[in-house]
């Protein structure tokens, strides 16, 4: 079975500081990995995804993530936080044999201090 663990339910950074949100996954087959963002009272929006190929994936709003198979990780980073980045972030995993099902982590709420 696949699973996702997000380390830290709440992360707080200062505006302009590095954002690092941690995600580790478990999968017996090559995974598809995703990061979604949810702003208050809204649905989920795809930030970026990894399926195959280049392990460093760039997404929207300056975010990127690196797939590290040896560490079973897919951490999300952004060099400089902006106030508008405050939201909840979800890491998710799927694979070709999961019928399209996405398995989500518990979520990490990002706060950005002025």
Partner 1 sequence: NAGVTQTPKFQVLKTGQSMTLQCAQDMNHNSMYWYRQDPGMGLRLIYYSASEGTTDKGEVPNGYNVSRLNKREFSLRLESAAPSQTSVYFCASSEIGWEGLGYTFGSGTRLTVV
Tokens of 94: 């799927």
Q: Cα torsion for 11, 25, 3, 20, to the nearest 10°? A: 10
Q: Does 35 bind partner 1 (CB under 8 A)?
A: no
Q: Which of 18, 46, 60, 83 touches partner 1 (CB under 8 A)?
A: 46
Which among 75, 22, 29, 30 has a CA at the least distance from the CA of 51? Answer: 30
- Residues contacting partner 1: total by CB under 8 A: 25
Exactly one of 8, 9, 68, 80 binds partner 1 (CB under 8 A); which one?
Answer: 9
Out of 15, 51, 62, 111, name the contact with partner 1 by CB under 8 A: 51
* Least Cβ distance, residue 100 to partner 1 (angstroms): 4
Q: Cβ of 87: how many Cβ atoms within 10 Å? A: 20
Query: What residues line the site for partner 1 (CB under 8 A)?
Result: 4, 6, 9, 32, 34, 42-46, 49, 51-52, 90, 94, 96, 99-107
């Amino acid at each position: 079975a696949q699973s996702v663990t997000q380390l830290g339910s709440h992360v707080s950074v200062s505006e302009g500081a590095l954002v690092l949100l941690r995600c580790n996954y478990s999968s017996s087959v090559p995974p598809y990995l995703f990061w979604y963002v949810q702003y208050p009272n809204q649905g989920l929006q795809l930030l970026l995804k990894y399926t195959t190929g280049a392990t460093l994936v760039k997404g929207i709003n300056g975010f990127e993530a690196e797939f590290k198979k040896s560490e079973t990780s897919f951490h999300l980073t952004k060099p400089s936080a902006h106030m508008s980045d405050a939201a909840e972030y979800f890491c998710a995993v799927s694979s070709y044999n999961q019928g399209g099902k996405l398995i989500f982590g518990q979520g990490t709420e990002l706060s950005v201090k002025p």
